[in-house]
Structure 1
Amino acid sequence: MKTKFLLFLTAFILVGCSYKPVSKITSDIMGERVYVNVLISKEEPKNSVWIKDSVLEGIVTRLGKRISDDKNAPTSITVSIKTLSYQPLLFDEYGYVTSYKAILALNFDTRLKSGKTLSVTTSGEHDFTVSQKIRDTRFADGVISESDRYNAVKQASQEAFDEYIATLAVKGLKRGD
């Protein structure tokens, strides 16, 4: 019984030693300071600002990095919107859209502290219902309000950012950076 316990404990320790948290991997390849530039889209200027807020929040809260305003920071990330679309999901009995899916694709061009560059395209989605304005008792207006768009873009960009970090961590482990 004692030898089985020791074998189990040894196996547990050996397996546990290979685990490395994403925050540690990103710290190894990114450094402590990060410069972030979000390119403002001519078609979606407000959404670009919302995406920048979401990416900056993710870098600070999820990765524990400091945002740098210096382009000479060890790591720089340039984010651009590839596509943003709203797909209708549900309709009411009168044919008005009551629910949408926001689909966002972002491109992250990254210069790591080692000098290597990396381009990653990620996507995020968010399902949401639209605010209904009743014009009369039979018709509803399924217009996407500003707050609906903001929440949808914020959630989709957070999902895209999470995918970016996961991709960055995997590539960092593979390369041994």
Structure 2
Amino acid sequence: MYIYKNLPFLVFTFIFAFLFSACGYKPSSYYAKQEMQGNVFVKLQVSLEDPKNSVLVKDAVNKILIQKLDSRIVNDINNADVIMNLAISSVSITALQYDKEGYNQLYKAVVVISVNYFRKDNGIKKSFTVDGEYDFSIGGETVITETQRFNAITNASNKAVDEILSKIAVSSFK
């Protein structure tokens, strides 16, 4: 009789203990933090085609490393525990849609960023690429302006940079 009276409490306690102690889930940012632990030096290979966008990519990666992974960015490669190299591998803009007169109206910008990093403590080099896409319209214009091109590449680069965190986490298992 006593067990039946306290059965809901016992079941709730068992389920509560099982849910919070049996689950070994860790978010991907945990593994990325482990991979980028210590001082990080970010080296940028400036693209001759898009030097402004190259600098924006480095700034965005620095922001992710600092805000999401709590990494310490250093300016001297000798003080770094992790050396990360970034480069814009390719930039392409392709037409997606034409108007009645045959002019291009909708475009897609695709940016591919090459990332490789080296941890001094274990001597292992890892590399991967990320890409970002951004669709944009030029409105009533017939030619893409430099401002539209810059904004499209910036938005595509930001989408690619957002993918870097998960790629670092995945590469930590290799």
TM beyond 0.5: yes
CA distance in 2, matches of 1:32, 1:142: 50
CA distance in 1, matches of 2:142, 2:38: 45
Call closer, same or farther: CA 1:105–1:71 in 2, change over 3 Å. same
CA distance in 2, matches of 1:109, 1:162: 16
Counterpart in 1 of 2:133? Answer: 125
Counterpart AA for 1:117: K
How large is the RMSD of aligned CA atoms in angstroms? 2.2
Gapped regions of structure 2 (runs ≥ 5): 1-7
Match of 2:44 among 23, 38, 48: 38
Look at both structures and tell me which one has the larger radius of gyration over its CA atoms: 2
How big is the shift at 1:102? 0.9
Q: Is the contact between residue 30 and residue 113 of structure 1 (CA under 8 Å) also seen in structure 2?
A: no
SS in 2 for 1:141: coil
Q: Is the contact between residue 58 and residue 158 of structure 1 (CA under 8 Å) also seen in structure 2?
A: no
Counterpart in 2 of 1:137? Answer: none
Point out the more displaced range, 7-16 or 30-39. 7-16
Deviations 1:26-48 (A, max 9, x none): 22221243211121123333332
Counterpart in 2 of 1:27? Answer: 33
Call closer, same or farther: CA 1:41–1:26 in 2, change over 3 Å. same
Call closer, same or farther: CA 1:162–1:68 in 2, change over 3 Å. same
Q: Is the contact between residue 29 and residue 113 of structure 1 (CA under 8 Å) also seen in structure 2?
A: no
- Normalising by structure 1, we get a TM-score of 0.79
Point out the more displaced range, 99-108 or 60-69. 60-69
Point out the more displaced range, 44-53 or 110-119. 44-53
CA distance in 2, matches of 1:58, 1:5: 40
- Normalising by structure 2, we get a TM-score of 0.81
Superposed, which structure 2 residues align to 1:33-112 within 5 Å? 33-72=39-78, 73-112=80-119
SS in 1 for 2:147: helix
Asked if 1:143 corresponds to 2:143, the answer is: yes
How big is the shift at 1:113? 4.9
Counterpart in 1 of 2:3? Answer: none
SS in 2 for 1:80: strand
Q: How many residues align?
A: 165
Q: Is the contact between residue 84 and residue 118 of structure 2 (CA under 8 Å) also seen in structure 1?
A: yes
Gapped regions of structure 1 (runs ≥ 5): 133-139
Q: Is the contact between residue 32 and residue 166 of structure 2 (CA under 8 Å) also seen in structure 1?
A: no
CA distance in 1, matches of 2:25, 2:146: 43
Asked if 1:164 corresponds to 2:164, the answer is: yes
Q: Is the contact between residue 83 and residue 106 of structure 1 (CA under 8 Å) also seen in structure 2?
A: yes
Q: Is the contact between residue 29 and residue 165 of structure 2 (CA under 8 Å) also seen in structure 1?
A: no
Q: Is the contact between residue 55 and residue 157 of structure 1 (CA under 8 Å) also seen in structure 2?
A: no
